Amino acid sequence: MASDGGYAAFPDPSPPGVIVGRYRITGRLGRGGMGTVWRAEDELLGRQVAVKELLLDDGMPDDERRGRRERALREARTAARIKHPHVIVLHDVVEQDGSPWIVMELVDGRSLAEILAKDGPVPPREAARIGAAVTGALHAAHAHGVLHRDIKPANVLIENGTGRVVLTDFGIARVLGSTTLTEAGAFVGSPEYTAPERMSGQSAGPASDMWSLGVLLCAAVRGQSPFRRDSLGGVLHAVVFDEIRPPVELGPLLPVVTALLERDPERRMSAPEAEERLRGYADPSNVSTLPNDIPAPTKPPPTAPAVPTKPRRRTPLILAALSILVVGALGAVALVQHHNAGNSPALAATAPGRAAGATAKTTNPSPSPSRSPATATAGSTAKPVPAGYRLVVDTKGFSLAVPDGFTRSYQPPRVFYFSPGEVFRIGIRTAAPGHGGPLAVMKAQHVDGPGTFKGYRDGFVTETTRAGNPAALWEFTWDGFGDGGGARRTYDLCWTEGGRQYDVWVSSPVAKAELGREYFDSARDTFQPDQNQN
């Protein structure tokens, strides 16, 4: 059955009649935990509206009924404060037979959740358009001190004909500084889309809504949240602890989503920056940023390599909270300790240029007789060599895994490993530590980026660590070498270890950025310096 007004339709509407002598109910549009949404005709003004009825149980205690009524009034006050083209318009709030009713504009369209369920995932450009609109709505809400706290596809409506995007259902929104009206220990929101700080019982802020936006974008291009699991405990574990694997279908949207899915809210991308970047991606004329020829997969491909995270210790308290959540006790999320600061840096990149006249030669050095390259030294964090790769022990004092078929070229001060045709490029450099450490080095290159790389864009630097050592990640897109290969996406990790500074980067075409990131992940994870040469 087709939906009506942007809400999932239900059979047998059984309309309650006329509300306050003015709003004639003509059908039921949808129902959620907070109430039922009805289609109605405003007989005074002669227009169609949506009317939300708060569900009140006659058997509930009086104080709970009062709390429910107050929540409805709060939703009305919240929505009324926000004037934005992508926020649902509130017309009226009335009370009949002791129950509040909220009268809103009727959006003639479907929710994003229904679009995904019936039509499948949307292309990256459409996801960017939807995301930019939602981000603008969130920016307006945050400017009024309002957090939405329930960003998900079901609360994003797409108007028929115009394609207008509307953020709705501020039913669990919270005004910053106010006291929540939920019961003590209760949890409001959709766990798959909820930020880790909220799942861990920490205070929420505007950044929490931005995390949810990042998950929404993943769901838009993949059809479901990357944190979907078979149990509530599994969802909690995925959001708070598991490696974050954004879907490869994001394509060039990956940098924005990666910056939104930072577990540390202080590092998360802000609404103004996200809106600007998403609008740029959504612009049809911006072909270099978001090409239209990204193929839509006929079946779900494997997820992208994980955003690097540190291993986290599972304490008995966390395990106890998880076991409680598995049996449905949502209030237990507040017991989970917060271990997330700095644990989900965005992937980073650089795009060093190709040395003029470079020629590549194949080398696959034999392992030193004193140490097998496949055996990690004491204290090493290097991971096993993945299938389709080979381990090389380079004469410049390091080893790492490179894809089969890549060839080596030494162009001082870097060692390069090129794919056939130099489509993908891995670069390694060792040097004395730079002034201020890796973060200062990467930030300086980021600042110089527009003057160094034609079409420099989407650059950002994230402070992180590697094997407990200071590190920084840098990622950006640029227009490429001018050889017909098009725009390139590049990834870079710079860190200090054993008195040396190491720099490992991968450069790839934008259209193949997910494969480039896989090469980067493998190079980063398997890299091992030869401390004997330091």
pLDDT, tens digit only, all 534 positions of the chain: 333 344 444 344 455 689 889 999 988 887 765 678 889 999 999 999 988 877 655 566 777 767 767 766 766 676 677 888 998 888 888 888 777 788 888 988 999 999 999 999 999 999 999 999 999 999 988 888 888 888 999 999 999 989 999 998 775 545 444 333 333 344 456 889 999 998 877 878 899 999 999 999 999 999 999 999 888 888 888 898 888 888 888 988 999 999 999 999 999 999 999 999 999 888 876 544 443 333 333 333 334 444 443 333 333 333 333 333 333 333 333 323 333 333 332 322 333 333 333 333 333 333 333 333 333 333 445 678 889 999 999 999 999 999 999 999 999 899 999 999 999 999 999 999 989 999 999 999 999 999 889 999 878 887 888 888 999 989 888 898 887 888 898 889 999 999 999 999 999 998 787 788 889 989 999 999 986 665
Query: What is the Rg, in whole angstroms, of the alpha carbon atoms belonging to the chain?
Result: 26
Alpha helix segments (H runs only) across 283-378: 316-326
**Strand, helix or coil for residue 532:** helix
Q: Which of 279, 488, 526, 303 has the alpha carbon at shortest distance from 402?
A: 526
Alpha carbon distance 106, 78 (integer Å): 18
Helix 124-143 to helix 206-222 angle, to the nearest 10 degrees? Answer: 160
Q: Which of 176, 178, 15, 167 has the alpha carbon at shortest distance from 101?
A: 15
On whether the CB atoms of residues 208 and 200 are closer than 8 A, the answer is no
Domain annotation for the chain: domains and CATH numbers: 18-105 (3.30.200.20), 110-335 (1.10.510.10), 389-533 (3.40.1000.10)
Alpha carbon distance 176, 199 (integer Å): 18
Q: Which of 90, 292, 229, 237 has the alpha carbon at shortest distance from 171?
A: 90
Q: Which of 410, 405, 426 has the alpha carbon at shortest distance from 521?
A: 426
Residues tagged active-site: 150
